Amino acid sequence: MEEIKLWKIVTQQDAKPRALPVENVTETTTEELLEEVLTGAPDLLMPSLRLVGRQTETQGGPLDLLGVDEDGRLVVFELKRGRLTREAVAQAIDYASTLAALEAEDLCRHIEESSGKNGIETIADFGQWYQNQFQRPVAEIGVPRVTLVGLGVDEKAKRMVEFLAKCELDISLVTFHGFRQEGETLLARQVEVRRAPVKSTKLENKAKLERLLDGLGVAQSYDELTAALQQGIGDSAYQWPNPAGYSFSLPEIADSGGPTLRSYVALYAPEARKGAIQVNLQARAIEAVGKEHIEQIAGAMGSKLTLKPTGWGEIWIDGHKPTSGYLEHLRALGEAISAGQKAKMQKQVKAEAAEADAKA
């Protein structure tokens, strides 16, 4: 593999520009440092990744990072502080095969027991969490994907990953090239081997949702309701289609200090409810807005807020009724969620700043 190099262009007055080499970093101080960086910024690994485990115990040893991608697939990450070798490939497949062999109930228990540690959010009920995010049971989560991550890769490991990818194993290889400049470490990301091509679940989900809404006779109403909620919550929300509705996530700061996306609210139209639409509120949304305020909004729509044992809540509205009775209130709900989330972020930033000042 050809080595990647980095130069800094320096231009001085009355002199030609010069290219000064930036010092390479062949390995991080420890493997944990690379983990810490990626835990705080999972988008460095893949877009919209949700990390659900770090250093989780398996039969083959501790698994570095475990995530769920935007399509609802489990992703096993094997990290190395230096160059990836064929031993890392075998280790990653060992972890993935261990998880693939678990029954859905055991997989949920594995993730729940490991959550809330090392910068990973607490997930008290992974089955419900997964159902809320992707509108399908966790039993349909499928075989884990595998991604190897390191500061470079040797030719044997790369050849093995390329072969496995051609054999339709969903495996990828990502390397970060480190450079040191003026006391700071810079990272350049390079995808060495991409996973095998798959059909876009996002497009499939959108097509399934459109068919569902047409069949229920609420397509236009649902679009109007979704647009009202989106208008209230703002452009910073990430909107994701599930087979039964759209979910909205907002950017947050993870416990490790990096950016992440977390689901707050969704609008679902379950086929069994014949056109009734569920406003699904995550526990963090209820905390951000306040239970009493949400109850007032639900009452104004002729409904009520029902809280579930795991902390999330739901409001049911009739998709066959004129949307005029709901639009204003859904916009207000979106605005309240956005305002509450921003206040939470500001409070978190102030607390971190105060802690930093105290240590200074």
41 sits in the region (left: phi over 0; alpha: psi -120 to 50; else beta) called beta
Q: Which residues contact 136 (CB under 8 A, 6 or more apart)?
A: 72, 130, 242, 243
- Tell me, what's the pLDDT at 6? 65
CATH architecture for the domain at 31-193: 3-Layer(aba) Sandwich (3.40)
Domain range annotation of the chain: 31-193, 201-359
pLDDT over 60 (residue 151): yes
- What is the value of pTM for the model shown? 0.58
Task: Please state the rounded mean pLDDT for residues 145-151.
Answer: 90
Indicate if the pLDDT at residue 74 is higher than 90.
Answer: yes
Residue 14 has pLDDT above 50, yes or no: yes
User: Looking at residues 324-333, what average pLDDT do you find?
Assistant: 96
For residue 48, CA distances in Å to 58, 98, 106, 140 come to 25, 25, 25, 20
List Cβ<8 Å contacts ≥24 apart for 89-93. 89/148, 89/157, 89/160, 89/161, 89/164, 91/60, 91/61, 92/146, 92/147, 92/148, 92/171, 93/146, 93/164
Closest to 128 measured CA to CA, from 263, 299, 271: 263
Please tell me the CATH code under which domain 201-359 is placed: 3.30.1460
- Residue type present at position 304: K
pLDDT tens digits along 195-224: 655 555 678 888 999 999 999 999 999 999
Distance in angstroms (rounded) separating the CA atoms of residues 152 and 155: 10
Mean pLDDT of 220-231: 97
> SS3 for the chain, per residue?
CCCCCCEEEECCCCCCCEEEECEEECCCCCHHHHHHHHHHCHHHCCCCCEEEEEEEEECCEEEEEEEECCCCCEEEEEECCCCECHHHHHHHHHHHHHHHCCCHHHHHHHHHHHCCCCCCCCCCCHHHHHHHHHCCCHHHCCCCEEEEEECCECHHHHHHHHHHHHCCCCEEEEEEEEEEECCEEEEEEEEEECCCCCCCHHHHHHHHHHHHHHHHCCHHHHHHHHHHHHHHHCCCCEEEEECCEEEEEEEEECCCCCEEEEEEEEEECCHHHCCEEEEEECHHHHHHHCHHHHHHHHHHCCCCCEECCCCCEEEEEECCCCHHHCHHHHHHHHHHHHHHHHHHHHHHHHHHHHHHHHHC
- 201-359 and 31-193 share a CATH fold: no
User: Residues 156-183: pLDDT tens digits?
Assistant: 999 999 999 888 788 999 887 767 767 6
- pLDDT tens for 342-351 read 888 888 778 7
pLDDT digits (tens, 9 = 90+) for 238-271: 888 888 899 898 887 665 555 667 789 999 999 8
pLDDT in tens, 93-121: 999 999 998 888 899 999 999 888 888 88
